[in-house]
Amino acid sequence: MADRDNRLNGASSQSLPINRNDKLGKQDLDDLFKFSLTAKSSLTLRVSNIKRGANFDVEIYGFKPDTTIPAKVGRTEFRKLRASDRNRYLTLAGSSRKSGNKAEAIELSELSAGNYVIRVLQRQGDSRYRLTTNATVINDGTGGSGTGGTNTGGTDTGGSGTGGSGTGGTGTGGTTPGNTIQTAIDQTVPNTSITGTLSDADTQDFYKVTPTTAGDYLFDLSGTGGDANLEIIGADQSTVLKRGINAGNEKFILPLAAGTPYYFRVLQAGSGNTIGYALGVTQLSDTYAGKYDNGNGLGTATALNLATDQNLSNYVVDQGINSPEDLFSFNVSTAQAFVTLNLSNMPIGDLGLQIFKQGETPEQGLTRNFARNPDGSYPSEILAGRVTAGTLLHSRYSGCSRRRLYL
């Protein structure tokens, strides 16, 4: 049976950049992923790691503005949509349709702000794949051309800038610290006390950090009086590494390298509110070090004794420095046994679960990675059934979340 994410109202909501693993096959022909752009941007997309004998294509559609997709259209499998419905509500922005298992790639020099959906579709065979997508805000170059705002003794005298916006957020003159990426306020991480206030007169704050320790960091932005969003920007001051635009608090995990500068941008989600915010940045500790590492890390698997129930907690983040995946092993000494794996409590991201025997690849085993629930929560991944004698391994992969595993 196909997953819910093969139709528009079941598309998995993603924040950019996207970097995740998934799977298509005869029983699941399409995966849909929704994302939003808050400003005019360029975009690059790649679908790779398609195994020999399989052929996948990829498409990007923009939702047409000022249109509401009827419930009947939203719950129809995408490849069964009538062409008239697809053309009425969507605009094809780009596609890649290479033959065989070649990697698919799309590069778009300019996309308008709005809502988009990525469709990865199966043409032949079964395979896992990796989807990576990144967007860079296009700065029109009109910002920051004011007639000379100054700052003397801490008093901002303003200026008559011509406006303009972009990642740098410049445009109305003035050099109040933190209002532009060039005047970002220095901070350190870990840090639990980055606080500030946003309003219609002060819509964004920038902070600069250069971590002394590489690791996977948990970002947690909360606010009172309204909604604030969070962006993590790279050393080039333009590439958005992660963007949180959820309603309410923003929480996600992102790997940070040592000695590399990063910029945190806290911005108003909408006008009309005065928002007091608090941003915490905490380095996470990896509880279980086992990693599959393309078959090279089997010896690192954490051995489990299933004579008693196991209840394990940790985090996993795609491309993580410390915990890109977790790998466990257990032994079945009888002819067969019934085993249940329950991966649950994933509050901030989606993770998948695999089980396979020693000597197999994960793709030869069983995989669970359900689509996001309609309410935005992430479903538990459950594998239950009989296994035969031998050593079995299971891993958590992809996505970005803290999680709990029950065995």
Tens digits of residue pLDDT in 308-326: 888 888 998 888 899 988 8
Domains (ranges, CATH) in the chain?
Answer: 4-137 (2.60.120.380), 163-283 (2.60.120.380), 293-406 (2.60.120.380)
Distances (CA, A) of 126 to 45, 76, 99, 367: 21, 23, 15, 13
301 compared with 270, residue with greater pLDDT = 301
Q: Give the model confidence (pLDDT) of 319-375 as tens digits.
A: 889 998 888 988 888 888 888 888 887 777 777 788 888 888 777 777 776 666 655
How far is it, in rounded angstroms, from Cα 236 to Cα 243?
16
* pLDDT digits 0-9 by tens, 36-66: 887 888 999 999 999 999 999 999 999 988 7
Which pLDDT belongs to residue 100? Answer: 92
- pLDDT > 70: percent of the chain: 83
Calculate ∠ Cα 205-243-158, nearest 5°. Answer: 25
| Average pLDDT, integer, range 103-131 | 93
Joined tokens for residue 249: 């608090």
95 falls in which pLDDT band (50, 70, 90)? very high
For residues 229-241, give the mean pLDDT. 88
Structure token pair of residue 291:
């990693």
DSSP 3-state of 79:
helix
Distance, C-alpha 247 to centroid of its chain? 16
Amino acid sitting at position 69: I
Neighbours of 159 (CB within 10 A): 16
Span 132-186, pLDDT tens digits? 999 888 876 543 333 333 333 333 333 333 333 444 444 434 457 899 999 999 9
Under the banding of pLDDT at 50, 70 and 90, the label for residue 281 is: very high
Q: What is the pLDDT at residue 219?
A: 95
User: Could you tell me the pLDDT band of residue 284, with boundaries at 50, 70 and 90?
Assistant: very high
Q: Give the confidence band of 82 by pLDDT, cuts at 50, 70, 90.
A: very high
For residues 8 and 49, give the distance between their C-alpha atoms in angstroms, rounded to a whole number.
25
Cα–Cα separations (whole angstroms), residue 349 to 112, 134, 201, 268, 316: 26, 18, 33, 23, 9
CA 379: distance to chain centroid? 16
Stretch 241-265: mean pLDDT: 88
Tokens 């078959």 identify what position?
Answer: 295
Q: Is residue 403 predicted with pLDDT exceeding 70?
A: no
The better pLDDT of the pair 67, 175 is held by: 67
Give the mean pLDDT of 219-247.
86
Residue 283 tokens read as: 């380095």
Omega of the bond leading into 65 within 30 degrees of 0 (cis): no
